[in-house]
Amino acid sequence: MKKKIIIAIILLSGISVLGWQIYQKVSDSTKGFKHQRQNIPVAVEVALIKKASIREVGKFTGSLHPLSEFIMAPKIAGRLEKLLVHIGDTVKTGQLVAVLDNDEYHQQVIQAKAELAVARANLEERRSTIENAKREYERTKALRKKKIASESQLDAAKSEFKTQQAKLKVASAQISQKEASLKMAEIRLSYTMMKVSGNNTTGYKVVGERFVDEGAMLAPNTPIVSILDIERLIVAIHVIGRDYPKIQTGQEAVISTDAFPGDTFRGKVIRIAPILKEKSREGRVEIEIPNSQKLLKPGMFVRVQIQFDEHDNVTVIPIAALVKRNGSQGVFVVDPQEQKVRFIPITLGIVNGTQAEVVSPVITGEVVTLGHHLLEDGNSIMLPDKKLSQGKPGKEKS
């Protein structure tokens, strides 16, 4: 039994020694492979670090909206007798657009005028009566002073005079009442003549939609047509929190649309929402665009560019040169003498779609733009159309 245990211990010791020897050989082989890889030139493409101007431009998408839009609808019920406009027609402030059946309202106006005439005649009658009552009162008062008329006769004359004064006030009030009734009847009649409202007499207004046809029975507030002001248009975009602080009223914007490829339109930021929507974390920004040629239409999809900042004569590199190593962002700068690259962490300024501004440190020469995923600091490189040395003394050949 003891012999078996001793034999097992000897076998385990031998296996351990053998395993350690294998591990050492594999480790040495890996180190050699890494050393060999670092000295294999990597084919790369490079770009020149240059001085240039760079702009920070925000790019957004949005939709066009009319400067103003309203729906024309009747305030009263009735049959639509005439509809004088169609989709796309140009209209002006005060222009007649639709007419409702107004016979009943005409009769109401005629009746109100007649009642006003009766009230005015009644007022004239009361004025004549009060003059007679006043004269009678004055005469009775004079007779009473001469002891000809009795006290009761004077009281009766005075009472009649006051009664006629009260009736005159009633007649005057009835005039005001009938005038108000006539005004109301005329207003109801005007509701049957639907005109384009608004204070702007120069705006370019068009009919956007037509909802009903002639002969339709309309309830109050039934939409008839929509009127759009497209002399100027509004672009509504939604800006995320990162870009929101960079936008200010008065900034210029360049707008393009697929409807007119190659053409651009200019506008200005006129309104910025004071809040960001909780669900989208975006704020609404409105841009006003002149539309004197009437090319742009509400509802079009547009692309918007707003310049946030511009730096002149700064160090600029291609975006493709940016890489990350050990958590630091930087670039591989080419050392033409050693035919190697150095990884240099950098601080960026403005970054746009193709270029990036290097704020620090100061770098010159060329940076790697393609192949840097294979590079580490100090690697050898091979440039296009340039053949680097295949080896140096004390170094392995590729």
DSSP notation for 24-38: HHHHHHHHHHHHHHH
Q: Which range (22-36, 72-86, 161-175, 207-221) has the least confidence?
A: 22-36
Mean pLDDT of 181-206: 84
Q: Determine the pLDDT at residue 14.
A: 54
Contacts of 360 (CB under 8 A, 6+ apart): 346, 347
Last residue of a domain, one of 310, 339, 360: 310
* Same domain membership, residue 275 and residue 205: no
Cα torsion through 21, 23, 25, 29, rounded to 10: 180
Q: Using omega within 30 degrees of 0 as the cis cutoff, is the peptide bond preceding 384 cis? A: no
Closest by CA to 291, choosing from 202, 230, 201, 205, is 230
Q: What is the DSSP letter of 170?
A: H
* Same domain membership, residue 106 and residue 186: yes
Q: Which range (57-71, 110-124, 143-157, 251-265) has the least confidence?
A: 143-157
Of residues 115 and 161, the one with the higher pLDDT is: 115
How many domains is the chain built from? Answer: 4
Q: Which two tokens mark 127?
A: 């004025």
Last residue of a domain, one of 278, 310, 342: 310
pTM tops 0.75: no
Report if residue 398 sits inside a domain.
no
Distances (CA, A) of 148 to 139, 142, 159, 174, 203: 11, 9, 19, 40, 81
Q: Determine the pLDDT at residue 17.
A: 53
Look up the domain containing 266 and give its range. Answer: 235-310
Is the pLDDT at 181 greater than 50? The verdict is yes
Q: What is the DSSP letter of 241?
A: T
The pLDDT mean for the chain works out to 84
**Own/partner long-range contacts of 122-129 (Cβ < 8 Å, ≥24 apart):** 122/171, 122/174, 123/168, 123/171, 123/172, 123/174, 123/175, 125/171, 126/164, 126/167, 126/168, 126/170, 126/171, 127/168, 129/164, 129/167
Q: Which range (43-52, 343-352, 374-383, 386-395) has the least confidence?
A: 386-395
CATH of the domain at 217: 2.40.50.100
Is the pLDDT at 165 greater than 70? The verdict is yes
CATH of the domain at 262: 2.40.30.170
* Same domain membership, residue 178 and residue 143: yes
The rounded distance, in Å, linking the Cα atoms of 395 and 387 is: 17
Is the pLDDT at 139 greater than 90? The verdict is no
The rounded distance, in Å, linking the Cα atoms of 138 and 155 is: 12
**Predicted confidence band of residue 25 (pLDDT cuts 50, 70, 90):** low
pLDDT in tens, 373-396: 888 888 888 877 654 433 333 333
For the chain, report the end-to-end CA distance as a whole number of angstroms. 59
